[in-house]
A and B are shown apart, each in its own frame.
Chain A
Amino acid sequence: GENVEQHPSTLSVQEGDSAVIKCTYSDSASNYFPWYKQELGKRPQLIIDIRSNVGEKKDQRIAVTLNKTAKHFSLHITETQPEDSAVYFCAAPNTGNQFYFGTGTSLTVIP
C-alpha cells in the first residue's frame, strides 16, 4: 500500500515569511495529491491539489509542486498571515481511491 511521510511536524514562521511543507510517497501509481488545512476542532478543508500530469499549481499565496521521479510533493505558502496557522495534511491515494494521509504539520505564524 501507499506510505506517505510528511515533514516537518511543526513549523513556526514570522508573519510575511514563506512556509514550505514536504511529503514523500511510495506508490508510483498515485496520480492525485491534495493538501488539507485543519483548524483546531474543525474539519479538514481542501486548499489545493495537483494531478500527476503537471509539475506545479498555484492559487494566490499557495502553491504545490510535484516531482514524480523523486516521489515527493510540497506545499508552499508565501506572505504568511496569522490566519494561516493550522495543521496541514498531505495525502496520496492508492489505486482504490483510499487516501493515505501524512502525519500533519502544525504551522504557527507569529505576528
Chain B
Amino acid sequence: NAGVMQNPRHLVRRRGQEARLRCSPMKGHSHVYWYRQLPEEGLKFMVYLQKENIIDESGMPKERFSAEFPKEGPSILRIQQVVRGDSAAYFCASSPPAGGGEQYFGPGTRLTVT
C-alpha cells in the first residue's frame, strides 16, 4: 500500500511565477490536508479537502493561494505570483473516510522562491 505521494519534491520558482504542488493520498483515503512548515518551525494548517469539496480553508491566505481535490487525480495546491516569503516545505496529509483520526504525511515539497 503506497503511502502519501507528493510531487515535485523540490521546486524552484522566480518571484511572480506560479507554483503547483501535487498530492496523492493513500489508497482508500478521501480526506486531504495541506500544511506549511517554515524552517525550524512547526506545521501550520492551510486547508482541508475531500473529493470535490473544500471543507476548511481557514488557514490559507485569501490571495494567491488556492487548493482543489478533483474527482479524479491528485489534490493540487496552487500559489500564484510567488514571493520569497512563500519559500517553505509544504506537506500534504491524508486520512481515512471516517475522519477524526490518524493523518499520514507525504514527503513534502520544498519550495524555494528566488
Contact = CB atoms under 8 A, between A and B. Distances in A.
Nearest to A51: B101
Contacts, number: 56
B102 A97 contact: no
Interface stretch (B13-21, B40-48, B75-83): B40-48
Contacts of B43: 44, 89, 99, 101
Interface string A1-39: 000000000000000000000000000000110101000
Contact of B100 (A32, A44, A46, A104): A32
Interface residues of A, number: 21
A97 B31 contact: yes
Interface string B88-104: 00010001000111111
B48 A49 contact: no
A44 B48 CA distance: 18
Contact of A34 (B31, B91, B102, B107): B102
B108 A43 contact: yes
Interface in B57-114: 58-59, 91, 95, 99-108
Contacts of A45: 105
Interface residues of B, number: 25
23 contacts: A31-B100, A32-B100, A34-B102, A36-B105, A43-B105, A43-B108, A44-B43, A46-B102, A46-B103, A49-B101, A49-B102, A89-B43, A96-B48, A96-B56, A97-B99, A98-B33, A98-B59, A99-B43, A100-B45, A101-B44, A103-B41, A103-B42, A104-B41
Given A46-B104, A101-B45, 10 more contacts: A42-B107, A44-B105, A49-B101, A49-B102, A96-B55, A98-B48, A99-B33, A99-B103, A102-B42, A104-B41
Interface of A: 31-32, 34, 36, 42-46, 49, 89, 93, 96-104
Interface of B: 31, 33, 35, 41-45, 48, 55-56, 58-59, 91, 95, 99-108
